Each structure stands twice: as structure tokens, then as C-alpha cells.
Amino acid sequence: MKKMLLLALCGTGLTWATATAAPADTVKVGVIATFSGPFARWGEQFQQAIKVYQKQHGTSVKGNTIDVIYRDDGGPDPTRAKQLAEELILREKVQFLGGFVFTPNALAVADIVTEAKMPTVIFNAATAVVTRKSPYFVRTSQTIPQVTVPIAQWAFKNGVKRVITAVSDYAPGYDAEQYFVKTFKAAGGEVLESIRIPLATTDFSPFYERVLQQKPDVLFIFGPGGPPTVGMINTWASRLKPAGIRLLCTAETQEIDLPKIGPVALGVVSAFHYTETVDNPLNKALWADLTAMFGKNTVPDLASAGAYDAMELIYRAVANFGPQVTGDEAIGFWRGMALDSPRGPIKIDETTRDIIQNVYLRKVEERDGKLENINFETVPMVRDPWKDEHPE
Amino acid sequence: MSEAAGNKGLAAAPIGLRLASVLHLLPWALALLVYVVAGGYLSLGTHALIMILFALSLDLALGQAGIITLGHAAFFGFGAYAAGIFATHLSNDPLLGLVVATVLTGLFGVFVGILILHTAGVTLMMLTLAISALLAEFANQAHGLTGGDDGLQVGRMAPLFGLFRFDLRGHTSYLYVLAALFVWSLVAWRIMRSPFGRSLDGIRQNPRRMRAIGTPVWRRLVVAYGLSAAMAGTAGALEAQTTRAVGLGALSVLASGTVLVMLILGGTRRYYGAFLGATVYVVVQDFAAQIDPFRWMFIIGIMLMAVVLFLENGLVGLVDVAGRALHGPRSPGR
Amino acid sequence: MLDITILLDGVAYGMVLFIISVGLTVTMGLMRIVNLAHGAFAMIGGYLATMLLGAGLPFFAAAIVAAALVGIVGAVAELAIYRPLYRKGELAQALMTFGFTFVVIAALTTAFGTGIRTLPVPPTLSGVVDIGFRTYPTYRLFLVAVGLVLALLLWLLIDRSSYGARLRAAVDNPRMASAVGIDVNLLFTVTFAGGCALAAFGCVIGAALMPLEPYYALRYLVLFLVVVGVGGIGNFKGSFVAAIALGIIDTGGKFLVPQAAAYMFYGAVLILLLLRPHGLMPAKSAA
């Protein structure tokens, strides 16, 4: 036992010695996201938005350099995310953590984030319960219920009576399905069927044939983005659109996928917290800088907004408390904070540390030969409904 | 195997025998050295040790018994979820959970083996793939039990032996995993050198002939597969207990493919092949991903191609080269 | 009527699988080399096609040209990388081709970024066609047609031509084949190139169903392996039947019992292989 203790002490001592301690005026921010594999575009967009932010605001705050360290989790991999978080906290001695494309990765780091009192900004993971798992979590993206409820309500208000939902067969899909069905039924509508489509599906036609058989007014879909989403919308366009079945969704018409889907998406209505065509100076600057720095086809997207606003939070914390800012200081500072984002006005909820923001109802239209989402209605400052329904 | 030849040929020289023993102790000494010196890297080290155990289990099934499997992650994941669910619902004692997970996974392996081991070759490979894919789907859907896509968050393990807390910095975890690896590697060593192990060798090389001399081929394969599954289950359980998170990725085809790559990289049927391959892959991947999170695949890919082009049977070939340089040519090993 | 639609869907899906996987049947089956880089060659063809389409080439021409270019790439790869692998055994081949796939993914990510690349189907193919009782996407009928033509051409080539005879001879007994004057090396190089070209062709043709992005090579590799494996290694008829069968079972199953959709494909594989462990149409010799 004594030997064990001695070894442990040696280990700890050497950990201190070997770990990279940051000099007083460098603040390290660790970003755990996906940079390789099928979801590599998320990490790419995070990095691009962060680079734009740092170009616009400089790479230092009051003389303190903000050093962003990127680590690849490779996809939904809670064990890897945890290891990376441990490395970043213990070895790199970061003062902020950020990133987290996937909910399982965010959930996995909750306990070490709490133990290390590490202020952590969630750039994307959208399952409602995430911010409950650690008092040091703050979210700058959205929750699925938050953006799903408005579209369900809009649908019913606009004459939709019969709906079929088709979601990808994984937890975020179930969330979307649950909240759409609940909201739509409560308003008085009818849900004919709820279909769950395996994530690995390449051919969506059998599911859509079932939909065609039942002839709803609307098909509501939820997909993970990328090839499956493109497939879901394209198959709708070839099978169901000619039969007059409309499509409703949330993030699926996001700007990064829209050109791949093509003109068949024209007229599709969705609800989301970030629309690339939102007309405010921050968004315009973000888009302009993205195209200037990364090519004319770069578009801002929900990933960009999440990362960009997270950097704003971090910069403000360092500006206010200096380079030795603690987790408690940062979290306390961020709670209840209202700020402007490229997406519009946002607020970090005082108690839940989750995001309160506008949800836009928008339609896919063509502008200057390009397909874009154009807002036509705004639901202002929507809170996360799940938290309101499940108080702690 | 060079160790065997070394023991035989150098038994005449007591110095040689000591040398062989020293060589055998080397990996363990290195592992302990890492513990003492590289404190900040313990979670990476623990992960490497777990992967070594996983790769070693694959060597038993694939390298020794010749069972071509693209679905070995099924057992790793099964063990991980078993340990995670056990800790969450029944008892968070680590050793109890480890034993339960190992035994359950071994039984599962026997069950799968009975189902599919009458086939061979590509058919068997496809069946292992199908089983692991179906298990992954089940885990995705049974989210009440497994957490589904969100993953399973495992509560903190009780202190090991009631004494050693699982600390944040990973000291206890590292030594715990190292001990488990040591135990299993001794078992694997014994198995590979036993008559049972020798018969597996024969089955891999020529099953028909083995049948002709009366070996119950199918039964041996099922036992080997079950043992290999149990070993992989331990690896998964260790990962669940030390990282306290289990994700669907543990059951994925990519995980099966990666451990296969690790084993081939190190060298199959060479006892320390699994050790070398898993360690090198884990460490290189971690550092490559730090340098360039987008393009680490490039570095790994080049490394794999180079190893195949320039070495005969994986990285263990480097050890042979070094051995020849030091001792002069020796009789070909196993 | 509905059943015919689902059948048609299943056949169309199976056809895409067949078109892309048949090249793997060639390399893995005929040449007995574990070629995990098949998806990588397909993907290279896809990206070449995007450049050709960008330069103004029509769709079908781009597919053919891309396939030809990838054939050349495949021939070079065969000489440089695969030739030394023949004698090294399956595990070494698996490792090498897997590493090669990683390299290709990383290279294409660097060159083209992480996003999806569209290979837009020409307007003539993207509408619907009236097949009597309903309208059906033209593109899918096109896939079925291409698949059938390809299957026919390959059958003629392998079973009925002297090239095919020489190839089968060379695979069955390389030494004997060289002894009677068949240039085995050249044959292998040409055939491997053909397999890669087929993969590229399939990728371009099927891109509307399986979108092109840098992870394409690994994302769908398992599908290709399964089709080849279930069909019986080295067996064109087998992989054709396997692709169609899996396509129909998968599609039909998902339609009829969507709750079990996730288990359809691999469940079918499991049952098919347990029932017929030597593949659907076991070959007595190659092809």
C-alpha cells in the first residue's frame, strides 16, 4: 500500500512536471469535435468559424493569447471523447472546453468536466438533457424540442391535418418524433404513422412507399445531415412530391446540404434557429469572411453559428476576469447573458444554462440562381420545452 | 515462434535463457515505466493496454485457430455493455463486474460459435460481420438498457479491493488494466503452447487433415472462439469500467476492422505481435490526430502500407531484424 | 400493383449494388486478392467524374471516361502495389489495401473538402415515367437497364469470349496457363484494371443513391463485401443474384415491417448464408 502511495505520488509529481503549464498570458481552449470520418464536415465548419472569429476579433484578449487546440473524436465515441477531455484538462491544461458534435460525447465528459470545474461550451449536441448533466455545461446550439415544437404548431395552424413522421433511428430522431407528434396531436392533428429509418439506409424508397400508400398531407422528417438527409429529401421529391405530399423538417435544408439536394427542395418549409440569410451585420460579416478565407462556396451553417457564439462567450469571459478565469466565474458570468449572434439575439438561460433564441420558419427559395432558406416568420426567444416540462 | 526456438537453441547457454526471460519481462517493465514517467498519458496508456488485450484475443481466434472474423468487436462491445449494465444496476464492484462480463461474453461467444463455425472462409467472415451488425442494431434500439445512441454512462466504480479508488488521473485504472492483461496473457501463452493450442494450429493449416486424424475440429473451434470472446469481453469490460462510458462504436464494424489492422500490423501468431501492433497504432493515431485532426488517416495509411511492403509479418519483423543483428541468424521460429 | 413497385425498387437497389460490387467480384473473386480498396477506386472515379462534368462533359460520357481513367490508375496500382502482395497472403493484402484506402480518403479530403459532391443526373433521367399503373422515377429504371446490360456484357465476356477463357484458365492454374502461352501477368493487370473501372463506373452511375463524399470508400465497403461474399467469391452470377436478392429482401422487408427495418439486411445475410454456406451460387471453378 505504501509503495502504491509512493508510486502514485511520483506519478502525480511527474504529471505536474511533464504537463504543459500555460504561461500567464495564454488561455488554452480545447475543442473536441469530429474532424475525420463520415462527419468530418462538422469539425471543419467549427474550425472555419473559429478562424473567422479570431480574424475579426484578434487572437488575443487584452494581451492574453487565446490558443485553440483541436482534438478529433472521430464521430460518436464517448470513450474517445472522455480520453481527449482528460488529456486536454490534465495534460494541456486548457481553461475552456468546447465542441461536441454528438450527444454521447458530451454526456461522457460530464463528470470530469464537473470534477475539474471546466467551463464547457457545447457547440452542437442537441439532446435536451445535456446541460443538466453538469453545472459547467453551457450550450450555444439548440435543442431538438426547441426547434421541433414550432414547426408542428405552424403545420396545424396552416391547415395540415394528417401527418406521417419519418426520423432516423437514433436518439435525436426519437426526440424529434416525440415532440412533433406530441405537439401536433395536442393542437388537434392526426399522426398516421411514425416510421424510424436505420441510419445506414441508402435506399429510402420502401419507407416512402408506405407513406405514399397512406396519403398524409405532410411528411415530417429528421435526419443526421449529409448523405442520409440528402437521400431522404431526394426520395421525397421523386416519390411523394408528385403526389402532393408536402415536406416539413428542421435542420435538413441546412445550407451546406441544400446545393446537393437541388431545386427539388424549392418550397420546403422548415423551422430552425439558424438561417443563413438572416439579415444582421454579424451574419453578413461571418458569411463574407468565410467566403473570403475559405472559398466562394463556403456558407455559414448551424455549426458555424454554434462555434462562433461560443468564442464570443469565451472572449468575454477572459476580457472580464483575465487569463486566470475560473470555471465558476465563467459559468456565473454566462448565466443570463444576452448577446447578439449571427443568428439573431440569443440568451443563455439563467437556471438551465441552455440557449434561448429565435426559431425561424423558413422556406427554400431561389435567389440569384442559388438555393437559400428565406425566413417568413419568427417565433421569438423560444426556451427549451423539455426543460420546462421536466423541472429538476 | 522465435521465443520457443530461442529457448531450445539457447538452453545450452544459461546466459541465453536469462536473456530470453529478460526479453519477456521487457514489455511489462516498459508498461510500468510508462506509469511512473508519463503520468499525463495514463488514459492513453490504459486505452493501449485494453487494445492489446483485444488484439491478443483476436490472435487466438484468427492467428491461431484461423477463424476469419470481421466481427470481433461484437464481443468487445458485449463485454463493455455487460460490465456497464452490471455496474449500473447490480453492483459497482469492479472485479465482480469484470468476472461476470467475461463469463457472459465467453458464453455468448460459444453460442455464436455453435451457430456459425461449421462454415469457413468468406462465408464465416460474412457471418461474423452479420452477427456484429445485428448486435449493434439491437444495442441501438434497446436504449432503455444500453442508452442507445446516447451511450451508457457508468457510475463510478467502487474502490478496487475496497482500497484503491479509481482516481481522475487514471492511476488505479492503468495498473488494474495492466494486471488484467498480465493474467490473460499468461493464460493465452499457456493455451497457445498446450496440445489444445497446437491442435488449433493444425486446424488452421489443414482442417481436413485434422479431421482425418480424429480431431473434433468443430468442438475445438467453438472452445477457442469462446475463449477468444471471453478475452475480448474482458477488454470491453475494462474499457467500460475505466472510462465509464460505453458507446455503440464499441460494437461497430470499424472497431472490428481497427483491431484487425492492429493485429496484422504487429504480426499474427507472434506472441508480442498484438502488443506491438496495438501500442504502435494507438500511439501513432493519437499523435497524428493531434498534429492534424483532418488528415491523420494519411499518416496511418502510409504506415500500414510501408509495414506491409517492407516487413514480412508486421512490426514483429523489426524485432526479428534486431535479434538477428544482435545474435546472428537463428533457426526459423514458429 | 404496390408489390410490383416494391419489387422494382428492390431490383433497382440491387442493381446499384451489383454494378459497384461486380468489380470487387473480379478482384477479390477472380484474382483471389483481398481488395479492401475497392471503394477507394470507386470514389476516385466519382471525383474524376465531378471534374469532367464541371468541364462540360455529358453524364454518361463522364462516367465512361472516369471509369477508363480509374482503369489506368488501377493498372498502375496493380503493378506497383498489388503485384508484390500476391505472395504475401490475405492478411497482408487486407492491411495494405486498408492503408491505401485511408490514404485515398485523406488525399481526397484535402483536395475536395469534407462535403458531399453532387453528380447531377441529367434532366432526361431525373423525371418520372408512366409505367402504366403509376409513375416511377426514370433514374431507377435506368439503373435496372444499365445493370442488366452490364451483367449481359460481362457474362458474354467471361463465359463466351476467348479472353474469358484465358482468364479462367489463368486463375485456375496460373502455371499451366503460362505454359500454354497465356501471359498471366498482363491478363491479371488488365483484369484488375477492369475491376477498378467497373467500380468507378458504378460510383458515378449510382451517385444519386450513394452520394459522393470522402468517406464513401469506407462507408459502403461493407455492403460491397457482403454482396460478393454472399454471392460466392469469384462468381458473377452469384453476385448478381446476391445483389438482387439482398436488394429485394431489404427493400421488401423495410416496406412490410419497418419496425424491423434495421435488422433486415444483415438478418437476410445471416439466414442466406446459414442456409447456403457456400454462397448463393457456389462456383466449381472461377466465374
Task: Give residue-wise pLDDT tens across range A315-352.
Answer: 999 999 999 999 999 999 999 999 999 999 999 999 99
Task: Give residue-wise pLDDT tens across range B201-213.
Answer: 898 888 888 888 8
Residue type, A36: S
Q: Sorting pLDDT into bands at 50, 70 and 90, what band is B318?
A: confident
> Which stretches within B65-166 are classed as H helix?
73-89, 94-116, 121-141, 143-146
Q: What is the pLDDT of residue C223?
A: 87
> Which stretches within A116-170 are classed as H helix?
144-157
C37 and C240 Cβ atoms separated by less than 8 Å: no
| CA A365/CA A250 separation, integer angstroms | 16
Q: Indicate if the pLDDT at residue C161 is higher than 90.
A: no
Q: Sorting pLDDT into bands at 50, 70 and 90, what band is B11?
A: very low
Q: What is the pLDDT of residue B15?
A: 58
Q: Indicate if the pLDDT at residue A381 is higher than 90.
A: yes
Q: Indicate if the pLDDT at residue A98 is higher than 70.
A: yes
Q: Indicate if the pLDDT at residue A3 is higher than 70.
A: no
B289 and B327 Cβ atoms separated by less than 8 Å: no
A175 and A144 Cβ atoms separated by less than 8 Å: yes
CB contact under 8 A, A260 and C211: yes
Grid look-up 537453441 returns: B9
On the CB side of B147, how many CA atoms lie within 13 Å of its CA? 23
**DSSP assignment letter at B160:** B
Residues with Cβ within 8 Å of residue A91, at least 6 apart in sequence: A18, A19, A20, B40, B41
Q: What is the pLDDT of residue A262?
A: 86
ipTM score of complex? 0.87
CB contact under 8 A, A209 and C211: no
Question: Which structural domains are found in chain C, ordered by start?
Answer: 2-275 (1.10.3470)
Q: Is A32 helix (H, G, I), strand (E, B) or coil?
A: strand
A335/C134: higher pLDDT: A335
Q: Which residues does chain C have within 8 Å of residue A203's beta carbon, measured at their own beta carbons?
A: 9, 13, 209, 247, 250-251
Task: Give residue-wise pLDDT tens across range C34-68.
Answer: 889 999 999 999 999 999 998 888 888 999 999 99
Q: What is the pLDDT of residue C2?
A: 65
Buried b (16+ CB within 10 A) or exposed e, C126-161: bebeeeeeeebbbbbbbbbebbeebbeebeeebeee
Task: Give residue-wise pLDDT tens across range A28-38.
Answer: 999 999 998 88
The region, left, alpha or beta by phi > 0 then psi within -120 to 50, assigned to residue B243 is: alpha
Q: Sorting pLDDT into bands at 50, 70 and 90, what band is C284?
A: low
> What value does the mean pLDDT take over residues A42-71?
94
| Chain B, window 120-139: residues with a beta carbon less than 8 angstroms from a chain A beta carbon | 137
Q: What is the pLDDT of residue B330?
A: 55
Residues with Cβ within 8 Å of residue B70, at least 6 apart in sequence: B125, B126, B128, B129, B132, B253, B256, B257, B260
Grid look-up 458570468 returns: A333
| CA A48/CA A300 separation, integer angstroms | 9
Sign of CA dihedral B270, B275, B278, B281: negative
> What value does the mean pLDDT take over residues C129-136?
78
Q: Do the domains A145-272+359-389 and A20-142+280-353 match in fold?
A: yes
Mean pLDDT of chain B: 87
C191 and C163 Cβ atoms separated by less than 8 Å: no
Q: Which residues does chain A have within 8 Å of residue C252's beta carbon, measured at their own beta carbons?
A: 206
> What value does the mean pLDDT take over residues A222-241?
90
Q: Indicate if the pLDDT at residue B300 is higher than 60.
A: yes
A252 and A229 Cβ atoms separated by less than 8 Å: yes
Residue type, B86: F
> What value does the mean pLDDT take over residues B178-190?
93
CB contact under 8 A, A11 and B153: no
Structural domain boundaries in chain A: 20-142+280-353, 145-272+359-389
Residue type, A234: N
Query: Taking an 8 Å Cβ-Cβ cutoff, which residues of chain C contact chain A?
Result: 2, 5-6, 9-10, 13, 109, 113-118, 120, 128, 135, 137, 139-140, 208-211, 213-215, 219-220, 223, 247, 250-255, 258-259, 261-262
Q: What is the pLDDT of residue A24?
A: 55
Mean pLDDT of chain A: 90
Structural domain boundaries in chain B: 2-327
Q: Which residues does chain C have within 8 Å of residue A260's beta carbon, measured at their own beta carbons?
A: 115-118, 211
Closest CA to B263 of B249, B279, B277, B252: B277
CB contact under 8 A, B289 and A72: yes
Q: Sorting pLDDT into bands at 50, 70 and 90, what band is C286?
A: very low
- ∠ Cα A270 A275 A278 (to 5°): 130
Radius of gyration of chain B (CA): 20
* C-alpha distance from residue A327 to each of A135, A190, C11, C226 (Å): 10, 47, 58, 50
What is the separation of C-alpha A190 from the centre of its chain, rounded to a whole number of angstroms?
A: 30
Residues with Cβ within 8 Å of residue B176, at least 6 apart in sequence: B94, B160, B164, B166, B238, B241, B242
Closest CA to B272 of B3, B35, B64: B3
CB contact under 8 A, A209 and C9: yes
Q: What is the pLDDT of residue C1?
A: 57
State the fold for domain B2-327.
Answer: ABC transporter involved in vitamin B12 uptake, BtuC (1.10.3470)
| Strand (E) or helix (H) holding C79 | none
Query: Could you tell me the three cell numbers for A60?
Result: 488575443
Task: Give residue-wise pLDDT tens across range B246-270.
Answer: 999 999 999 999 999 999 999 888 7
Which of B41, B140, B143, B149 is the best substitution to test chain A (most A C-beta atoms within 10 A)?
A: B149
CB contact under 8 A, A262 and C9: no
| CA B76/CA B234 separation, integer angstroms | 7
| CA A160/CA A153 separation, integer angstroms | 10
B237 and B98 Cβ atoms separated by less than 8 Å: yes
> What value does the mean pLDDT take over residues B90-118?
94
CB contact under 8 A, C95 and B308: yes
C273: closest chain B residue by CA: B123
Q: What is the pLDDT of residue A373?
A: 92
> What share of chain B has pLDDT > 70, as a percent?
92
**Check: CATH 1.20.1560.10 for A20-142+280-353?**
no
Q: Which of A263-272, B146-155, C164-173 has the highest mean pLDDT?
A: A263-272
Query: Could you tell me the three cell numbers for B168?
Result: 481522475
Task: Give residue-wise pLDDT tens across range A262-288.
Answer: 888 999 999 999 999 999 999 999 999
Helix axes A40-57, A281-294, angle to 10 degrees: 110
Q: Which residues does chain A have within 8 Å of residue B140's beta carbon, measured at their own beta carbons?
A: 169-170
Q: Which residues does chain B have within 8 Å of residue A91's beta carbon, measured at their own beta carbons?
A: 40-41
A108 interfaces chain B, CB cutoff of 8 Å: yes
**B180-184, C181-185, C243-247: which range is least confident on average?**
C181-185
**Main-chain dihedrals φ then ψ at residue B43, nearest 5 degrees:** -70, -35
B252: closest chain C residue by CA: C222
* Superfamily grouping for domain A145-272+359-389: Response regulator (3.40.50.2300)
A201 interfaces chain C, CB cutoff of 8 Å: yes
Query: Could you tell me the three cell numbers for A254?
Result: 441546412
| Chain B, window 187-246: residues with a beta carbon less than 8 angstroms from a chain A beta carbon | 239, 243-246
Q: Which residues does chain C have within 8 Å of residue B257's beta carbon, measured at their own beta carbons?
A: 98
Q: What is the pLDDT of residue B255?
A: 93
What is the separation of C-alpha B115 from the centre of its chain, rounded to a whole number of angstroms?
A: 23
C28/A390: higher pLDDT: A390
Q: Indicate if the pLDDT at residue C145 is higher than 80.
A: yes
CB contact under 8 A, A206 and C6: yes
